[in-house]
Amino acid sequence: MFRLLRHQGKRTKSCLAGQRRYEHHRAVMAIRREDINPWERRAPLAPRHVKELTHAGVRVLVQPSNRRAIHEKYYLRAGAVIQEDISEASLIIGVKRPPEEKVIPRKTYAFFSHTIKAQEANMGLLEDLLTKEVRLIDYEKMVDANGFRIVAFGQWAGVAGMINILHGLGLRFLALGHHTPFMHIGMAHNYRNVSQAIQAVRDCGYEISMGLMPKSIGPVTFCFTGTGNVSKGAQDILNELPVEYVEPHELKDVSETGDMTKVYATVLSRHHHLMRKSDGIYDPMEYENHPELYTSHFRTSVAPYTTCLINGIYWDPHTPRLLRRLDAQKLMRPSQVSGAVTEGSPGLPHKLLAICDISADTGGSIEFMNECTTIDKPFCMYDADQHIDHDSVEGNGILMCSIDNLPAQLPIEATEYFGDRLFPYLWEMLPSDATRPLDEEEFSPQIRDAVITSNGVLTPKFEYIEKLRERREKAQIMKKSGMKRVLMLGSGYVSGPAVEYLTRDERTQVTVASILLKQAEELAAKYPNTIPVTLDASSQEGHLDSLIKDHDVVISLLPHSFHPLIAKHCIKRKVNMVTASYLSPDMRELQSSAEEAGITIVNEIGLDPGIDHMLAMECIDQAKADGCTVESYSSFCGGLPAPECSDNPLRYKFSWSPYGVLLNTINPATFIKDNQVVRIPAGGTLMENAAPMDFFPGFSLEGFPNRDSTSYTKIYGIETAHTLIRGTLRFKGFAKAMNVFIKLGLINDNACPILHHTSSPVSWKELLCKQMGLQSSISHNAFEEAVYERIGKDDTNMEILRWFGMLSDEPVPHAESVLTALAKHLEVKLSFNKSERDMIIMRNDVGLRHPTGELETKHISMVVYGDPEGFSAMAKTVGYPVAIATRMVLDGEISKKGLVVPMTKDFYVPALARLKEEGLYFMSKSTLQE
């Protein structure tokens, strides 16, 4: 019955030439592990395909996987090398997409990417492939001269889908009060192989032929759409039942008066149901060029007489739908009840009981198929009247089965079948070098036309994906009228409170644009009127611009280096902007442009800068109103773990960018002390200037200066101050521990080739040897002695390095620089557990000289704790100020145009009041001196 269509004996001359070409060339390819879906047990090649490759001199690496249906020992016998690291391979093949973090840069990959329709779920992957300059060959686009796919699992999708829906029919009939022979057919994956499944179908067919179907349900009819491999695979299964095929126009008669010892089926081609809207005629040539001129009469001519629809047709937005929601409502109307119906022998509520949508095209030819079902939960009931899906086989509606990875249920046969079709094309894929221009490759049209990305760009044939995606996003963003629209760039640590605050207003919609789509989707799932989209602002300036123009305000939570670019697009599109970052020189240059565009760009509205500014100006403005002179200003702020969570040598955990935290430790700093300007140079001496901070003795704090404080004499209008310092708070011990990393050269942002993704793994010991100019072959004792000498012969410092695993052979994370690698390493070691909380401490001390000569020092403090079940303290103290400022811009409370900072009374008074409403309280005390 099921002949596995092998290419043995039919190998083309070009393939044989390819084999000879590789007899003396040591090509390396890899079969990656499937790790996206737990049901994915297929592989792109079977062991016999691997054997042919290895005999031709190709080195084949296979990633180990206990989930793969074909045991790895068979690949080993075929000559493959079973190993985890596949970075040696130039060609890496799989079935489904890899996770973004496992994509190796500048390699040629082949898999089903599901990106050609700009599927939002895979746009993050597409961005990653472009960023990493991967050459992607998509099996779905490998077609012959007639446009038919040549590398696919189609037949096995049809086989599995048909087995599943026969099982589903048995369950649905039972729910309606009928035991039928279909009850003895299981799901496709419950059988060891397809032969066992076929036997179960045959047994069912035998019972049908014996007249064991309940008479009150009438003849069972099936309709297949399409004539390709999917449809043929499904028909092959149905052919194991006693089946009679009829023409579509004959289905009405057999559905009413047919023989109950058989089932009936019809195969629907285009000419059976498509007609020109104007005159009802079907012209195949015209339809190919202008499908929008046509409609389908399937809903009236065939569907009312069909028990089960098996849909396998490809759908394009320009082509007519097979069934719409309105059609489903009509098809669910009660059918006429025959005289044979009794309470114990009920009739059916309507004829169309089930749809198996093997195409799994959401919102496609079956309009109301909005979401695919899964192997775990294969069925749902679509109630057209309510327009909802019930996760059941009971109740009102049509049984839906729309699994999008059906061949995974029959993984061994599917692997063999797919490998036979892919194998002939491997010979021309093997020489592919992703670092070479695409036009230098000797690809056939079948391969060349399937290359979606290469050399960091979409290939010309697939440039439409970006436009399609933008149109889809725009339609989603603009769907609701009368909304105030906010574009949030970034979905990291502090985005949650901002989205939560803004979406409290049902007339506000937030679009979260992130390079990490999963993060954006998680946010969108939590809050109403929130739309997730993928965006890489560093490489998609056109996409960024199109998003900005559809919104009223842009919030940028991206690194500060992006802000000038974003601001220029906001100016161009006359869209307001809010950011928590410092107002940089590049941003200051945009002042006049922003004013001319009539937009507001709010800067420095986070925690530090942000809340610190507002508390400072509230105090300073009041002091001036009281006739006081400001003689000193000191402001220290820090994001810390709560004391009970500070159990590590740094006494620190990351609640914001690890890279930024580390880089700040080698920045220069300038401040004023007793009318003297103090300058600390860049490079690491900053940590040596850390000093105890005893205003909260119970917290055991230390602080060090932050950036250039001297500019704030003018910004705050306190030129009379003899002391002015702004700094960072940490728990005591942070600076000493950080100094260890500085002395070892680890706070170094220069490019480090040995850590790149393409390089072999390096241990911390090897990296430290390189940083200190030692041979990596040095003995461990000599290595530790050299480190001990470098860090000042301090035993505590050595224990710090041991705690972080940096005197061991533990691998260093791949990264562009040593600093980035250290940030990744520390982020793993110093991340918050779910039950842990962070803390924010801010302290402003303002020295005021009263007209009476008294010296008053105002002590303004804020301590905020994170909620393990909610938002972190850092997220609250940055996210809420950003959201409050955005709301003020949306509502016209901030009317000033150009660059704005939160230092005027009309800004900070309402903003501080609203922060208190969110639970961010500030304490103020005073001490007096004569």
Active site residues: 608
* Of 661, 838, 816, 835, nearest in space to 737 by CA: 661
Amino acid letter, 773: G
Amino acid letter, 417: Y
Give burial (CB, 10 Å; 0-12/13-18/19+) of 780: exposed
3-state secondary structure 248-316: HHHHHHHHHHCCCCCEEEEEECHHHHEEECCCCCCCHHHHHHCHHHEEECHHHHCHHHCCEEEECCCCC
Distance CA 575, CA 557 (A): 16
Q: Tell me if 890 sits within 8 A of 484, measured CB to CB.
A: yes
Q: Tell me if 346 sits within 8 A of 177, measured CB to CB.
A: yes
Strand partners, 110: 93, 137
Q: Count Cβ atoms below 10 Å from residue 388 Cβ, excluding itself.
A: 12
Find the distance separating the first CA and the last CA of the chain, reported in whole Å: 103
* Of 85, 194, 143, nearest in space to 413 by CA: 194
Distance CA 829, CA 73 (A): 37
Amino acid letter, 546: S
Place of tokens 């994001």: 639
Distance CA 532, CA 512 (A): 5
The answer to whether the Cα torsion of 446, 449, 452, 453 is positive or negative is positive
Q: Which two tokens stand for residue 654?
A: 């990351």
Distance CA 58, CA 51 (A): 10
Q: Which two tokens stand for residue 120?
A: 């939002």
Q: What are phi and psi of 266, to 5 degrees?
A: -140, 150
* Of 102, 91, 134, nearest in space to 115 by CA: 134
Please state the length of the chain: 930
Distance CA 35, CA 65 (A): 9
Q: Which two tokens stand for residue 715?
A: 């910004």
Measure the CA angle with vertex 682, ends 679 and 684; round to 5°: 110
Q: Which two tokens stand for residue 244?
A: 């009679």
Q: Tell me if 162 sits within 8 A of 470, measured CB to CB.
A: no
The answer to whether the Cα torsion of 890, 895, 900, 901 is positive or negative is negative
* Of 543, 604, 601, nearest in space to 576 by CA: 601
